[in-house]
């Protein structure tokens, strides 16, 4: 099991929650105290629950299960894609399309369309027939689809679990997963609703450094 250093976590600001005005009282069990009107997260709880989450994620990963990493805030874009690719898993880091889970059949059609467009674009015999204007429109259509579907292009069925950074921002993704009983792992800040999360990891979900701490440790543990 990976050992965590509380001093390192403090240096990364993982213990910083939100202003006390913005808290969700259901997060009280995971709060250590208040400093300058900011809730401070109990890092002992964070470590305890992160270890539980890591064990469960590894079970899924080792069984070739599908983990969908979700973080559509711009600051997380690169990190989300990076871990998913390194772990040979899946990601959504630009925009969560409504119905990604609950209307999977329609999403699969969009993925099929993307693949067809890409195949045509790679066929020089087809491409050379396009005018510059047609080629520009074609390329824009591909890029538009890729922005939202690239990370799930090869996901042939619904994921086994979701891993979420920022539960407020990814509210729709969580609702869809709950509806389909797909387990949700999530970094939960002091303004989160823990009731909708199956495996909660209390911590700062607004910082890139904090997110990278979790994601790097997930990568190391899954590939251990």
Question: For the domain that residue 192 is a member of, what is the CATH number?
Answer: 3.40.50.10490
Q: What is the mean pLDDT of the chain?
A: 92
Asked whether residue 1 is assigned to any structural domain, the reply reads: no
User: Which residue segment(s) compose the domain that 131 sits in?
Assistant: 104-152
Residue 219, classified by CB atoms within 10 Å of its CB into exposed (0-12), middle (13-18) or buried (19+), is middle
The pLDDT tens digits for 37-85 are 999 999 999 999 999 999 999 999 999 999 999 999 999 999 999 999 9
Do residues 167 and 147 both lie within one domain? no
CA 46 to chain centre: 18
Q: What CA–CA distance (Å, rounded) separates 39 from 166?
A: 17
Range 51-61 burial, b when 16+ CB lie within 10 A, else e: bebbeebeebb
Rg (CA), the chain: 20
Do residues 139 and 39 both lie within one domain? no
Q: What CA–CA distance (Å, rounded) separates 130 from 17?
A: 54
Phi, psi dihedral angles at 193 (to 5 degrees) = -105, 105
pTM: 0.92
Domain count, the chain: 2
Give the confidence band of 224 by pLDDT, cuts at 50, 70, 90: confident
Do residues 22 and 40 both lie within one domain? yes
- The three-state secondary structure class of 184 is strand
- CA-wise closest residue to 53 among 159, 158, 164, 212: 164
Q: What CA–CA distance (Å, rounded) separates 140 from 144?
A: 6
Do residues 26 and 90 both lie within one domain? yes
């Amino acid at each position: 099991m990976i050992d965590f250093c509380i001093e390192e976590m403090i240096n990364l600001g993982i213990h910083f929650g939100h202003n006390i005005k913005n808290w969700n009282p259901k997060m009280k069990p995971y709060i250590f105290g208040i400093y300058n009107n900011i809730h401070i997260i109990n890092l002992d709880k964070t470590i305890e629950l992160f270890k539980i989450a890591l064990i469960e994620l590894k079970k899924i990963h080792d069984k070739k299960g599908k983990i969908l990493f979700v973080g559509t805030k711009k600051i997380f874009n690169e990190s989300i894609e990076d871990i998913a690719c390194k772990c040979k898993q899946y990601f959504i880091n630009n925009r969560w399309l409504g119905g990604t889970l609950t209307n999977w059949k329609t999403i699969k059609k969009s993925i099929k369309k993307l693949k067809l467009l890409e195949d045509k674009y790679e066929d020089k015999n087809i491409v050379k027939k396009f005018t510059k204007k047609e080629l520009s429109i074609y390329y824009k259509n591909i890029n538009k689809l890729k922005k939202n579907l690239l990370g799930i292009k090869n996901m042939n069925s619904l994921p086994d679990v979701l891993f979420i950074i920022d539960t407020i921002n990814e509210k729709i993704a969580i609702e869809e997963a709950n509806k389909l009983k797909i387990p949700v792992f999530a970094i939960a800040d002091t303004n989160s609703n823990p009731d909708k999360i199956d495996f909660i990891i209390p911590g700062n979900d607004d910082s890139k450094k904090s997110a990278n701490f979790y994601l790097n440790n997930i990568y190391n543990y899954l590939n251990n």
